[in-house]
Amino acid sequence: MKFAHLAGVSALLLASTALAETPEETAAAALEATPVFDGHNDVPIQLRGRWRNMIGEFDFEDTTETGPEHSEGRTMHTDLTRLREGKVGAQFWSVYVSASLEEPQAVQATIEQIDVTHRLIDRYPDELMLALTADDVEAALAQGRIASLIGMEGGHSIGSSLAVLRQMYAIGARYMTLTHSKNTPWADSATDAPEHDGLTGFGEDLVREMNRLGMLADLSHVSEVTMHDVLDVAKAPVIFSHSGARAINGHARNVPDSVLRRLPDNGGVVMVVALPGFLSEPTRQWYAAHQAEKARLETLWQGQPDIVEAKLAEWGAANPEPKATISDMADHIDHIRAVAGIDHIGIGGDYDGMATGPVGMEDVTGYPALFAELARRGYSQEDLEKISLRNALRALRAAEAYAASVSDMPPIETPVPE
């Protein structure tokens, strides 16, 4: 009797094991329930750089032929077909303009980029839907369309004007990255010499006004001190629209543990980037060595660019670039989970704003492979659903809820220059 009972238990265990989902099945189930809400895609600047925003003949169904004949010299990472294959259900389209522009030109260029993003969405009404709220995101998903949100990449886009910020919100912008590669007059960038020791008083008021509006403050690109200053002021969740964990890769663009530890109190989300130089530490070190070698050769062979190019190619052949992998991206997610928790992780690929994604995730089709890797590491379907969409949607909804709670608060006024 005892042996028969044990045999029966063993048979049940074997049957249960046979029925257990594979990592790929767990990932597929999660992405079916909650498609990826991606925090950052640079298609709009591709439209500007390649087609000068003339999109009447642009085919967003298939961009696989957009190769070297265009100014960027590579094939685009994104189109409607590949977004579907990659299980992307909501997308923040980045309206980046160069941080080198003077502020008035940056404001104009940003409006032009918001305009071309609206026009792109309008051209594909069966596939894309403009989303201004969390409810809009859910409505688009229910209709089988890709919820399309707009995020401004860089505070230079508002010309240091809260009035311009409000008008950008009025025409659809739902986050703003406070800086890009350079400081603004009111906030320090991660990749520029510190100038303000974080946020100025105006910068603090700007965060307050973003919170009042319901616009997400995006802390990708800002310095560590600026991150902390924003968290000291913010009444709504922040996001990092495309960043990694600095403990895994030391790039200044990544989020340090000192900030990750504060996210549970704020409710913010790090939307993990796919850019190889931010993922793999050996890749980051290689880029630094490559730049150092280029500078050395330019000093040795001044005025002789052909020699510099040839010798740099020789160096590259002898020192091949290490390739970032899906596993590297998963390592960042593991670390953020360990420090901040599962509720503070999202996805922000940065596709079409970089040369390529990691091996196996070279374009937007790669997200199912990432989620399968996470499932192999023990992430449950519930965990994966939080990472893919639920955390980002919760942060957006919380920002809206805070704005609704202070709807009687007047706009913050600042004097225009004399």
Residue tagged 């257990």 (tokens): 20
Task: Give 245-267 as a 3 state SS string.
Answer: ECCCCCCCCCECHHHHCCHHHHC
Decide if 221 is catalytic: yes
Given 77, 156, 196, 221, the catalytic residue = 221
Catalytically annotated residue among 136, 204, 343, 350? 350
Strands (E), 163-227: 173-177, 216-218
- The Cα 316–Cα 44 span in angstroms is 32
Q: Is 381 helix (H, G, I), strand (E, B) or coil?
A: helix
Catalytic residue status for 197: no
Tokens of 164: 């311009």
Amino acid at 378: G
Give CA–CA dist 323/112, Å, rounded. 36
What gap in Å lies between CA 72 and CA 46, rounded to an integer? 8
118 part of the active site: no
Pair of tokens at residue 382: 């519930």
Closest among 374, 404, 366, 414 to 133, alpha carbons compared: 404
**40 carries an active-site annotation:** yes
Is 290 labeled as catalytic in the residue annotation? no
- Residue 143, judged by CB atoms within 10 A of its CB (0-12, 13-18, 19+), counts as exposed
Active-site choice (79, 136, 153, 218): 153
- Residue 217, class by beta-carbon neighbours within 10 Å (0-12 exposed, 13-18 middle, 19+ buried)? buried
Dig out the tokens for 408 from the structure.
């009687």
Please give the Cα distance from 289 to 295 (Å, whole number). 10
Catalytic residue chosen out of the listed positions 38, 40, 373, 400: 40
Active site residues: 40, 42, 153, 180, 221, 242, 350
